[in-house]
Amino acid sequence: MALIVQKYGGTSVGNAEKIQNVAKRIMEEKDKGNDVIVVVSAMGKSTDQLVDLAKGISANPSKREMDMLLTTGEQITISLLAMALTEKGYPAVSLTGWQAGIKTEPVHGNARIIAVDTNRVTRELNDGKIVVVAGFQGITEDGSISTLGRGGSDTTAVALAAALKAEKCEIYTDVTGVYTTDPRYVKDARKLLAVSYDEMLELAHLGAGVLHPRAVEFAKNYHIQLEVRSSIEKESGTIIEEEVKVEQNLVVRGVAFESDITRVTVLGLPDSLTGLSVIFSELAKNQINVDIIIQSTTAEQTTNLSFSIKNEDLDATVKVLENSKHKLNYEQIETESKLAKVSIVGSGMVSNPGVAAEMFAVLAAHHISVKMVSTSEIKVSTVIEQEKMIQAVKSLHDAFELAKLQVEA
């Protein structure tokens, strides 16, 4: 008997009929003789509806109260799914994140899981029940309800799989797997048979919304095999594991993209050793994620610093910089919005020099100017004008022939 963890996203449980379909998938797994833990998200767009309700009450609601509000969405789903399973003769119990032992750091809105107390879940499994857990949520040491950020149900599922040493963690979604790029924008995007943890981690961080980055981190750290599958189609999905055994000759495995990027430039920083640490320490204290960073020294021996952020963090970023001006003594701040980030990812890039040059050549051939660049061993990211984002993605997808199934030599 194996332990299988399954996770179903909001679109998979969007209404009563879909919940019944999910129940059938779970029952099929239980009929194989396996123990099953199911993690679910809130139904459909219900989280967005709760956010809209809050905005009707307060323009700037407390993060603690937002967590209290938003976690009700998953509670509705778990109770309905447990009812559906029990009605069909499969004993089930629904547990909130805190009842399931998900303990987080004391942060509201985007908390990290720090521990999982498995006692309650293990007890319910030993009683022969299917355990249905609310994703996206946990509890802090002082007893406050917390949330894990958008996509946090993935992290809940993998954390439970790791803590309980599950055989496998299956992520069910509205697509059939991980694609070479988003098939909604590129028609010949192809489902990948497998992808490595490192590649998936880069893709997730760079805008591929199919998996939450923290979920991939958990899976890599605890060697949990993931499979991204369709909740509707009965077909195999994409395996995410340490070393990909298929299509090993792929140099670039995917193209990721993310819109709504802003470049912030701090001009005329004194050439000191402490300026950078002050800027990024203050931004971190305010939960502002900084992505690509470029530094240059001027002829006047001052420093210009550019970094990219999400549009939604612009006001907070400018406020932090203005409040720190007396420490930094910079001359001025410039910002540029309506930007996007387009990236290529592939573990084959490590042993194939010239991939970045080919990427820049493709963009130049399509008259797409590159404003910022960031690289690692397995990725190259560029910041470009947002209006040319999809054109860039399609051009790179074609140039690296990602639509073709790569047959091993």
Q: Tell me, what amino acid is at 224?
A: I
For residue 23, pLDDT beyond 80: yes
Q: Tell me, what's the pLDDT at 409?
A: 40
Q: Tell me, what's the pLDDT at 243?
A: 82
CA angle 276, 277, 280 (to 5 degrees): 85
Among the listed residues 175, 180, 166, the one whose alpha carbon sits nearest the alpha carbon of residue 226: 166
Q: What average pLDDT does range 7-17 have in this prediction? A: 94
Residue 258 CA: distances (Å) to CA of 203, 208, 212: 11, 8, 14
pTM of the full structure: 0.85
Tens digits of residue pLDDT in 349-382: 988 889 999 999 999 999 999 999 999 999 999 9
Tens digits of residue pLDDT in 59-99: 999 999 999 999 999 999 999 999 999 999 999 999 999 99
Residue 183 CB contacts under 8 Å (≥ 6 apart), including other chains: 175, 189
Q: Tell me, what's the pLDDT at 220?
A: 94
Q: What average pLDDT does range 280-302 have in this prediction? A: 89
* pLDDT band for position 247 (cuts 50, 70, 90): low
Q: Tell me, what's the pLDDT at 145?
A: 97
For residue 386, pLDDT beyond 80: yes
**Other Cβ atoms closer than 10 A to 322:** 11
Tens digits of residue pLDDT in 133-180: 999 999 999 999 999 987 899 999 999 999 999 999 999 988 899 999
* Separation of alpha carbons 176 and 234, rounded Å: 9
For residue 320, pLDDT beyond 50: yes
Tens digits of residue pLDDT in 259-271: 999 999 999 998 7
Contact (Cβ atoms closer than 8 angstroms) between residue 153 and residue 74: yes
- Tell me whether residue 125 is in a domain: yes
Tens digits of residue pLDDT in 168-208: 999 998 889 999 999 999 999 999 999 999 999 999 989 88
- Tell me whether residue 155 is in a domain: yes
- Tell me whether residue 372 is in a domain: no
For residue 408, pLDDT beyond 50: no
**Residue whose tokens read 């767009």:** 45
Share of the chain above pLDDT 90, in %: 82
Share of the chain above pLDDT 70, in %: 98
Q: Tell me, what's the pLDDT at 276?
A: 87
The whole-angstrom distance between residue 290's C-alpha and the CA centroid of its chain comes to 16
- Tell me whether residue 136 is in a domain: yes
Tens digits of residue pLDDT in 294-311: 998 887 788 999 999 999
- Tell me whether residue 74 is in a domain: yes
Q: Tell me, what's the pLDDT at 298?
A: 81
* pLDDT band for position 254 (cuts 50, 70, 90): very high
Count of domains forming the chain:
1
Q: Tell me, what's the pLDDT at 88?
A: 97
For residue 407, pLDDT beyond 60: no
Range of the domain at 84: 3-174
- Tell me whether residue 292 is in a domain: no
* pLDDT band for position 406 (cuts 50, 70, 90): low
* Separation of alpha carbons 223 and 29, rounded Å: 22
- Tell me whether residue 59 is in a domain: yes
Which CATH number covers residue 152?
3.40.1160.10
Hey, which residues does 194 pair with through a beta bridge?
239
Contact (Cβ atoms closer than 8 angstroms) between residue 331 and residue 267: yes
- Tell me whether residue 38 is in a domain: yes
